[in-house]
Amino acid sequence: MTRHSAKGKITVSTQLAAMAAGVTEATIRKWASRGKLTRYGSPGRAEYAIDELLDLAVARSRPSKTKGAAGPPEAG
């Protein structure tokens, strides 16, 4: 079930947030505690904004740049 938060965002429960992001419910809670995701709802009923979940899912799907990675081999 989706709801609208006081700030007009469409929110979903922890379970639906985890399904939407393709992660576990524990990961959703960790993201919220680390400030990567805003927790809405009331005490005992956490909800998360769909737009924030999509932003995190897209960011996770992008390949990260590795430090110190060598460039393409030179011809020679």
Tens digits of pLDDT across the chain (76 residues):
566 655 678 999 999 999 988 899 999 999 999 999 999 988 989 999 999 998 888 888 887 666 555 555 555 4
Q: Measured between alpha carbons, how far is 75 from 72 in angstroms, rounded to an integer?
A: 9
The pLDDT value recorded for residue 5 is: 57
The pLDDT value recorded for residue 33 is: 95
Q: Measured between alpha carbons, how far is 38 from 20 in angstroms, rounded to an integer?
A: 15
